[in-house]
Homo-oligomer: A and B are copies of this chain.
Amino acid sequence: MIKKIEEQFLQYVKKMMSYNEAIQLMYWDLRTGAPKKGVEQRSEVIGILSQEVFKMSTSEEMAAFIAKLSPKHEQLSEVTRYTLEECKKEYERNKKIPADEYKEYVVLQSKAESVWEEAKATADFALFRPYLEKLVEFNKRFIEYWGYKGNPYNTLLDLYEPGMTVDVLDEVFRKLREHIVPLVQEVAASPNQPETSFLFHRFPKEKQRAFSLELLRELGYDFAKGRLDETVHPFAIGLNPNDVRITTRYDERDFRTAIFGTIHECGHALYEQHISETLIGTPLCTGTSMGIHESQSLFYENFIARHYSYWKRNYPRLQQYAPEQFSGVSLDAFYRAINEVKPSLIRIEADELTYPLHIIVRYEIEKGLFNGTIEVKDLPEIWNDKYKEYLGIRPDNDAVGVLQDVHWSGGSFGYFPSYALGYMYAAQFKHAMLKDLPHFDELLEKGELTPIREWLTERIHRFGKTKKPLEILQEATGEALNADYLIRYLEEKYKAIYQL
């Protein structure tokens, strides 16, 4: 009896996941080359399918599955058990918000995003302010509906990083700030600044693409399970573990955009390509959290592709693709140039060292908004003050300040910390990996990247969502979140580069 219900439940979920896969492919297509006059009708198709998935996730049928299966959970297979848990979480989250209120919120989101675009284009925070206020209000009400433990903001964090709390973040972000802020200042004051002008020569797109493909293959990205396309905003998308696509953007005056961007997305893609195939057709067949996902992209982008040994192998190849640009530049000069630190106003253009500070600014503001210590009207001022304090520079308009990111306009609060968490996780994974692969640097130098990828697959990738992020971290590294590894990495690396 229970087996039959279990089977029906899995079929039901598989149908939802199939619709999701179709929706994802339509998104990929819209972003990579769908004819522009077809966008409106395609968006309607996406809307109709999404609505169907939403209906299924909150239907009476779903309620019945949850009611029948939950009490017998010890009789279910492991996959069913975790799937049921995910579905239940989703069901409760969606059911607790009154339908009318949710509908109003969806309309607000889409309106707010287009107003934000205009506000950003004209650097006019006042235009966006009433929308942002409403978005915050809605989310405050949602937190009340959903309930919270300790701090209201925890509920939002949990959406992206299950189990993460303000208590933990306050502690790690304080540590990061205390170490990074003075280090950035020391770096800025160093007389040993890298020469970078050679980075900006014209590097034709086709050659950047050819080099990117070569690097991707070596990193282990499986082209029989993926493809590389071009988009304005690069992304990785996992349709299923056997179809994980990435995109990149080519700047002919700065090859770093494509190379480091592609490798970043490759990190995300390697995660999705190596999730166990047994999870296909369930909501478990994806990364376990935003933070763990970002740890994989940052591991590849920073801990591999900004490493000296990686370029010891790959710089001569790069030189072949652009001999005029690099023939007179030594490996050491190249390495220092691609690791230049320069405090900037824009998060997505930030270097490795200053990046966490951008996230800390956003974390502190979000926490304040949901704890009632910060009001939306004061955001520009607070934002600018924090940039001045942490990064030493002050935005002279809100387009390069508080209006720069799309996240809040879509009502995504609690997402930003994932970026910095991912970075800390990556450093912690690297530290643990060194115990098993002490010759890590040598592997990079030889282009033997398989053992590294396998280490990550064994401990992270294959589980999909069957393990929680903090469980993965604990089991892979033997300890809870520890900011020291990232701090140590940054201090050692940048003290050497800037000869401090």
For A240, the closest partner residue in chain B by CB is: B41
For A52, the closest partner residue in chain B by CB is: B15
CB distance A22 to B35 under 8 Å? no
Query: Copies of this chain, how many?
Result: 2
Which listed segment binds B: A139-147, A160-168, A221-229, A445-453? A221-229
CB distance A227 to B37 under 8 Å? no
> Given A25-B25, A35-B223, A224-B35, A48 and B15 touching (CB < 8 A)?
yes
Q: Is there a chain B Cβ closer than 8 Å to A29's Cβ?
A: yes
Q: Is there a chain B Cβ closer than 8 Å to A21's Cβ?
A: yes
> Given A25-B26, A29-B25, A33-B227, A239 and B49 touching (CB < 8 A)?
no
* A38: B residues at CB distance < 8 A: 225, 239-240, 242-243
* A25: B residues at CB distance < 8 A: 22, 25-26, 29
22 contacts across the A-B interface (CB closer than 8 A): A14-B48, A15-B48, A18-B44, A18-B45, A18-B49, A19-B49, A22-B45, A25-B25, A25-B26, A33-B227, A34-B243, A35-B226, A35-B242, A35-B244, A36-B224, A37-B224, A37-B242, A38-B239, A38-B240, A40-B242, A41-B280, A42-B239
Residues of A within 8 A of B (CB): 14-15, 18-19, 21-23, 25-26, 29, 33-38, 40-42, 44-45, 48-49, 52, 222-227, 239-240, 242-245, 280
Closest 9 CB pairs of A and B: A38-B243, A38-B242, A37-B242, A18-B48, A22-B22, A18-B45, A37-B224, A41-B240, A37-B225
CB distance B242 to A41 under 8 Å? yes
Shortest CB-to-CB span from A37 to chain B, Å, is 4
Q: Which of B21, B48, B223, B244 contacts A45 (CB 8 A)?
A: B21
Per DSSP, chain A at the interface is helix
For A38, the closest partner residue in chain B by CB is: B243
CB distance A49 to B22 under 8 Å? yes
**For the complex, what is the distance from the CA of A240 to the CA of B37, rounded to whole Å?**
10
